[in-house]
């Protein structure tokens, strides 16, 4: 297992975002533990830079998102910035524009993404986690969106993902009350996929990431594209994109390698082409 600690890696946003890659697995760490990894605008922009670098690194096949410090994934937006950046509708719109590009990058990310959640996952942290493909959490984690307690409208995309994962009734309960739920409840309603003891979370996350990294990248890309199209209204689906990636898989070197490895009873070595 690669030694990827939360205190190493390429720094962005003055070191509050860290990027690391080893053995096909990329990691982005939210590294602002004094504020429980609350997101400032600078961190959003650094997050986008780190994501883009891992996207363009051909050796990286899967990306993990995690929080430093053991207390939080992301505890939300940095409220101390609000008086300057989100004090009214016009300022809030500008803030949203500056952070929207990073959310869009994650929403349309071409590689599989995993949110590794240990501790608080609140507000904007929920938005990041819900944009990931897979959410894994520790038993002690807590989830919530306190927008109603701050007078904030959470936004269409965040609520679309919340409704998609947990359903409209739970979305209403969480949004109307601003309540927090524990990890067992989050698992039960579909906000997270797997739970692990805190001491085992990182190892289990890496095991899943390494499994993904060793599988055929084109086959995973086909699944990612097809599932994204399934979630769209039928009239908006790009069936040609599904057909094209399917053909690319069937004509790929990796498909031949997969067949040969099966016949030869050995582990396949996929190259993504």
Q: Per-residue pLDDT tens for 109-128?
A: 999 999 999 999 999 999 99
CATH number for the domain spanning 192: value is 3.90.226.10
53 and 168 within one domain: yes
Could you tell me whether strands 134-138 and 113-117 are parallel, antiparallel, or unpaired per DSSP bridges?
parallel
Question: In this structure, how many other beta carbons lie within 10 angstroms of the beta carbon of residue 236?
Answer: 8
User: What CA–CA distances, in Å, run from 214 to 5, 111, 123, 207?
Assistant: 21, 13, 33, 11
- Indicate whether 270 belongs to any domain: no
Range of the domain at 177: 10-214
Angle at 64 between CA 60 and CA 66, to 5 degrees: 145
pLDDT value of residue 3:
47
155 and 46 within one domain: yes
Q: What distance in Å separates the CA atoms of residue 174 and residue 241, rounded to the nearest whole number?
A: 36
Q: Are 43 and 30 in contact (CB under 8 A)?
A: yes
Q: What distance in Å separates the CA atoms of residue 178 and residue 151, rounded to the nearest whole number?
A: 11
pLDDT value of residue 84:
57
Q: Are 103 and 127 in contact (CB under 8 A)?
A: yes
How many domains does one find in the chain? 2
190 and 57 within one domain: yes
246 and 194 within one domain: no
E strands along the chain, which residues?
A: 10-12, 17-22, 25-30, 62-67, 72-74, 113-117, 120-122, 134-138, 142-144, 180-182, 194-196
Q: Are 69 and 36 in contact (CB under 8 A)?
A: yes
100 and 209 within one domain: yes
pLDDT of residue 5 exceeding 90, the answer is: no
pLDDT of residue 175 exceeding 50, the answer is: yes
Top pLDDT among 44 and 154 is at 44
Band of pLDDT at residue 243, cut at 50, 70 and 90: very high
Band of pLDDT at residue 2, cut at 50, 70 and 90: very low
pLDDT of residue 100 exceeding 90, the answer is: no
204 and 222 within one domain: no
pTM, entire model: 0.90
Among 183, 198, 214, the domain boundary falls at 214
222 and 208 within one domain: no
pLDDT of residue 82 exceeding 70, the answer is: no
200 and 93 within one domain: yes
Residue 220, helix vs strand vs coil: helix
């Amino acid at each position: 297992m690669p030694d990827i600690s939360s205190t190493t890696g390429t720094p962005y946003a003055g070191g509050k975002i860290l990027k690391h890659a080893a053995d096909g697995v990329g990691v982005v760490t939210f590294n602002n533990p004094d504020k429980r990894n609350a997101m400032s605008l600078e961190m959003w922009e650094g997050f986008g830079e780190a994501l883009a670098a891992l996207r363009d690194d051909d050796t990286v096949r899967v990306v993990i998102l995690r929080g430093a410090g053991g207390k939080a994934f992301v505890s939300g937006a940095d409220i101390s910035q609000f008086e300057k950046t989100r004090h009214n509708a016009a300022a809030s719109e500008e803030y949203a524009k500056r952070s929207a590009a990073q959310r869009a990058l994650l929403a349309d990310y071409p590689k599989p993404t995993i949110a590794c959640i240990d501790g608080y996952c609140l507000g904007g942290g929920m938005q990041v986690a819900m944009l990931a493909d897979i959410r894994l959490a520790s038993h002690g984690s807590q989830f919530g969106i306190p927008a109603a307690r701050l007078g904030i409208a959470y936004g269409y995309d965040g609520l679309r993902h919340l409704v998609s994962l947990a359903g409209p009734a739970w979305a209403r309960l969480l949004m109307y009350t601003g309540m927090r739920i524990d990890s067992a409840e989050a698992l039960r309603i579909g906000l997270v996929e797997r739970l692990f003891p805190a001491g085992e979370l990182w190892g289990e996350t890496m095991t899943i990431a390494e499994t993904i990294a060793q599988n055929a990248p084109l086959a995973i890309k086909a699944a990612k594209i097809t599932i994204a199209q399934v979630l769209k209204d039928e009239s908006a689906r790009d069936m040609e994109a599904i057909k094209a990636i399917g053909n690319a898989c069937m004509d790929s070197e990796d498909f031949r390698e997969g067949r040969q490895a099966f016949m030869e009873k050995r582990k396949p070595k996929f190259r993504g082409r």
